[in-house]
Amino acid sequence: MKNFTKLRGMLDIDPSLSSKYSFIESNFNKISKSYGYKEVRFPIIEATDLFRRTVGNETDIVNKEMFTFNSKSGKSMTLRPEGTAGCMRMAIEEGLVDAGQQKLSYKGPMFRYERPQKGRSRQFQQMSLEAYGFKDSQIDIEMIEISYKFFKELSLDKDIFLEVNSIGSQEDQKNYSLELKNFFSKYKKDLDEDSLKRLEKNPLRILDSKNKDLLKLIDNAPKINEFISDDSKKTFKEIREAITGLNIKFTENPLLVRGLDYYNDLVFEWKSKSIGSQDTICGGGRYDSLSKMIGGRDIKATGFSIGLDRLSLIVEDAKIPYQKTLLLVSLEESFFLSGLKLANSLRDNLDNFSIQFSGKETNLKSILKKASKRNIDFMVIIGKRELEENSYTLKKLLKNEEIKLDNFDLLISNLKDN
């Protein structure tokens, strides 16, 4: 029979990688909760128009990368390529934004039809924060501060770097787009097909081109910081001064625009030096126009997303807390119930242990051989003598030691001390 394999561009998460994901997520949950963010969940499928209207018709995401299909009723639906639009839709629909300022967090899979490579798959995991209803730059500063603390907690502060930019207001971007159109129109013969389409509809997207042949031309284009308003300049200055005061190092990148149409003013990215061309592990910024794009009222908003798959590539395995393993063995089938009860008692008293019970397998030699292959740390043996004396035989397999303990409390304290 045919063997089935995963679809191209998809990832299987085995137990080892899953434990790393869980470790990263637990740290993300801890720091986001400490700043007052509350978790939300929303569908992975949304109406296609939600993304066409917010992400932008001239972006690669909408034009090339969305998994879109029709429902049985004929409605166009899309697997979410990003979470910000869906989170805002949910917050409006559920009345959260009407209840005042909101700090929200979420995690889950996103989907983009891209060429698979290291750090980029077609189903990928993201962790995100969104804040609604905060008008001043303090919340933008907080987003950068949280992401920095999170990466520092994972000991990544020497491996990553921060780039920031201000793309001004929506009006600033319109004025800048006209200037870009005038500039790039002089070099139409040098533009690729995608850039020629963007030239007519959204020239700003040309700056986000991945075509290496256009990099020199893009580098010579007018910079957006020459066209943003005084208010945007003032806000960006406040943000730069604040993160400097927090000892967060950064570089200003005037070409950083992010690949989505709803951004304004602050945009930022955290990048890694060690994962190749797909080097962005976190991106975010402000998007005050997003709510009105999807029929909501005027709501100030900002946030960021972290690519969990890419992040896992640079988090060292040594950083993941080690979970000790204990195998409980009953030497006769008649001792099965006693072993079952003892296994539950051990789980109740040992938090950082994986307690496994051999069940009705009684061949000690065979069990020891399997335990060695599985790198089991400890073994507790229940035999006739142990049951009669209410004692315990503890094997420290990695040290090749065996000790007899006279009571349950001694067993627990000995395991906790190792």
In the sheet where 280-286 sits, what is the strand order?
38-39, 102-111, 123-132, 301-307, 280-286, 264-272, 160-166, 251-252
Give yes or no for residue 371 having a pLDDT over 70. Answer: yes
CA dist 297 and 290 (Å) reads 10
Over residues 222-234, the mean pLDDT reads 90
Q: What's residue 204's pLDDT? A: 82
Using DSSP's 3-state secondary structure scheme, residue 86 falls into helix
Give yes or no for residue 260 having a pLDDT over 80. Answer: no
In the sheet where 392-396 sits, what is the strand order?
353-357, 324-330, 378-382, 392-396, 401-405
Is 289 in contact with 130 (CB distance < 8 Å)? no
Is 176 in contact with 264 (CB distance < 8 Å)? no
Q: How is 227-260 classified by DSSP, letter by letter?
A: TS-HHHHHHHHHHHHHHHHTT---EE-TT---S-
Q: For each of the domains in the chain, give its residue range(s) and CATH number, in order of start.
A: 15-169+228-317 (3.30.930.10), 174-218 (no CATH), 322-416 (3.40.50.800)
The band of 225, judged by pLDDT with boundaries at 50, 70 and 90, is confident
Radius of gyration of the chain (CA): 27
Distance set, CA 64 to CA 57, 60, 281 (Å): 10, 5, 22
The band of 207, judged by pLDDT with boundaries at 50, 70 and 90, is confident
Give yes or no for residue 348 having a pLDDT over 90. Answer: yes
Q: pTM to 2 decimals? A: 0.87
Q: Which of 394, 403, 351 is nearest to 376 (CA)?
A: 394
Q: What's residue 255's pLDDT? A: 83
Is 88 in contact with 291 (CB distance < 8 Å)? yes
| 234 Cβ contact list (under 8 Å, min separation 6) | none
Q: What's residue 259's pLDDT? A: 65
Q: Which of 189, 198, 191, 158 is nearest to 64 (CA)?
A: 198
Q: What's residue 393's pLDDT? A: 92
Burial class (CB in 10 A: 0-12, 13-18, 19+), 99: exposed
Q: What's residue 29's pLDDT? A: 97
CA dist 197 and 217 (Å) reads 17
Question: In 10 A of CB 403, how many CB atoms?
Answer: 12
Q: Which of 225, 235, 222, 210 is nearest to 286 (CA)?
A: 235
Is 78 in contact with 67 (CB distance < 8 Å)? yes
Strands (E), 250-300: 251-252, 264-272, 280-286
Distance set, CA 336 to CA 124, 221, 358, 382 (Å): 44, 76, 9, 9
Structure tokens at 195: 């850039």
Question: In 10 A of CB 163, how many CB atoms?
Answer: 17
Structure tokens at 334: 């008649």
The per-residue pLDDT for range 31-73, each reduced to its tens digit, is 999 999 999 999 999 999 999 998 887 677 888 899 999 999 9
Count CA atoms within 13 Å of residue 268 on its CB side. Answer: 29
Dihedral angle at the C-alpha atoms of 144, 147, 149, 152, nearest 10 degrees? -120
The per-residue pLDDT for range 154-205, each reduced to its tens digit, is 999 888 999 999 999 988 988 888 988 999 898 888 888 888 888 888 888 7
Distance set, CA 98 to CA 84, 304, 366, 370, 373 (Å): 18, 22, 64, 59, 57
